[in-house]
Amino acid sequence: MGSYNYYKMFGCFNRKFKISESEPPPDVREAFWRYADGAAHMTSEQLVIFMVEHQGEEGCSAADAEAIMHNVLQRRHHCTDKRHGFTLEDFFYFLFQDDLNGPINPKVHHDMTAPLQHYFIYTGHNSYLTGNQLSSDCSEIPIIRALENGVRGIELDLWPNSGKDNIHVLHGRTLTTPVPLIKCLKSIKEHAFVKSPYPVIITLEDHLTPELQAKVAEMAIQIFGEMLYCPESGCLEEFPSPEALKHKIILSTKPPKEYLGSNNNKDGETSPAKEKDSSEDENEADDKSDRDDEDSDNLNRKSGNLTAPEYKRLIAIHAGNAKKKGLRHVLRISVDRANRLSLSEQELEKAAALYATDVVRFTQKNILRVFPKGTRVTSSNFRPTNGWMHGAQMVAFNMQGYGKSLWMMHGVFRSNGGCGYVKKPDLLMRRGPNDEVFDPKLPLPVRKTLKVVVYMGDGWRLDFSHTHFDAYSPPDFYTKIYILGVPADNAKRKTRIIEDDWAPYWDQEFTFPLRVPELALLRIEVREYDRSDKDDFGGQTCLPVSELRPGFRAVPLYDKKGQKFKSVRLLMKFQFE
């Protein structure tokens, strides 16, 4: 072997294992010397001043600073002696810890006492499906997973079983295998408030006889008990607040008389498959669910006098129908009770194009749910921003897969402590002197400018194998930055490519003028440049601009499915002008 080829092979082989330690960017060094008054160590008192002045954390106290210092010294040096304070390296380490210095407030901090329609609600679509919309299994497992991730809106499709004497959950007129309703309800009870104490709304798509509706009522009463919210008057003039509904389960569907005998699949959504008797694929599932059906029968014998009116009494949020009188009429009609209306993504697009302000005005009193079109058989999703900018509270998403739209949904509901309820911007709830409301299409002036500095990244060497990106050299990372919101605010930028470095250092600033910052999302994606193939994925996150904390921030990245990487993060700076 020639010396050149020997060097090329083994030189590259050694190069991929050469990992240099990350060093503080000049901005971090300058901030340290400034707040430490030029000394080699920063005291806890000086750290408080830095946190308040530079990081914008006005509530930071001496005790908070001492707790940070204690934590960092324990992690780095396995000691808690604060007499000498932070060195520059300690200070840099602290800034790069997302649990100590993350980009958004990790606690619930929105006003939770407004009526439900004042909030965006983390909502699932066909929550029982394990995969695609046509042939995947139905199970309680996706429901449990959704609740553990903070989802507050669960959707169940109710159909008679093959014997017409019990209730199964499945996507009707498809090949999906069913799961017994009782299993889903028990799972909801057990996991509803693991992640968040705020109410869980169960939207029911009901294809049942009055006898089976009575059975649903009896199951709900027996399983949920005091957890079940039932308005005293039978229908709500105004929705209660998330705070008033803590640890409550809420049922929402159309009152029985409005959909009995209907041939619709759900909320006007047409099935992507040809109609078929749903009992054809239920034999195997029936064998698996005998025990659950026995439980249901036992419940039925305990309260056999229940009828469909009892079922109607349990429906706290009534769902309306836009098909009979036309969508615009439904949006404009003034009613004395609070309703929920469901629209497909195409119906929302049409309504937003033709009468956007009617949609916004409707959502100031009522709840609007938007669901994916029936042709999304692979469980893909639509861009949620169109729903949010028109005030839609329940943008219902397929949670089974991944993609940019789902990343945006994850990002919005990381805010407010991940509790599943995010207070809508005031601009969506206001009315002017002539009853005018927010119109996303109107030209607006720039109200705020966001400056973003991408300093550096680290952690890939710990979370990925050394040959994951390139077989013979370190990766070539770059970062893409997007603003997603009203059309006039949408923008994208990217950093330069840093070659052959596991800890890339960019130190680049980007400026984004914003007209409606309250509805803007900052989407961040790191990719690894590949000359001969598609660039590799290196992590992503979405952050609500309104939640961003100023100053230096450690921004954790997530994988394609939305799971947080253990180590991968960026050091960034956010500044508003």
Dist. CA 576–CA 554, nearest whole Å: 17
Please answer whether residues 89 and 21 qualify as being in contact, where contact means their C-beta atoms are separated by less than 8 angstroms.
no
Report the helix count and the strand count for the chain, using DSSP H and E: 17, 20
DSSP 3-state of 225: helix
Backbone angles phi and psi of 557, in degrees to 5: -110, 160
Residues β-bridged to residue 448: 514
Helix H, strand E, coil C: the string for 378-435 is: CCCCCCCHHHHHCCCCEEEECCCCCCHHHHHHHHHCCCHHHCCEEECCHHHCCCCCCC
Enumerate the active-site residues: 125, 171
Dist. CA 181–CA 159, nearest whole Å: 9
Dist. CA 25–CA 252, nearest whole Å: 53
Tokens representing 477 are: 């990372």
Residues β-bridged to residue 304: none
Dist. CA 135–CA 377, nearest whole Å: 9
Q: What share of the chain is helix, strand, coil (3-state, %, to 5)?
A: 35, 25, 45
DSSP 3-state of 461: helix
Q: Identify the CA nearest to 204 among candidates 234, 177, 172.
A: 172
How crowded is residue 369: how many other Cβ atoms within 10 Å of its Cβ? 25
Maximum CA extent, the chain = 91
> Which are the contacts of 34, defined by CB distance < 8 A and separation ≥ 6?
none
Instruction: Give whole-number Cα distances, 547 to 253, 486, 534, 543, in Å.
Output: 33, 17, 33, 7
Instruction: Please return the burial class of 210, using the count of CB atoms within 10 Å of its CB with bins 0-12, 13-18 and 19+.
Output: middle
Tokens representing 328 are: 């615009």
Tokens representing 269 are: 């959504």
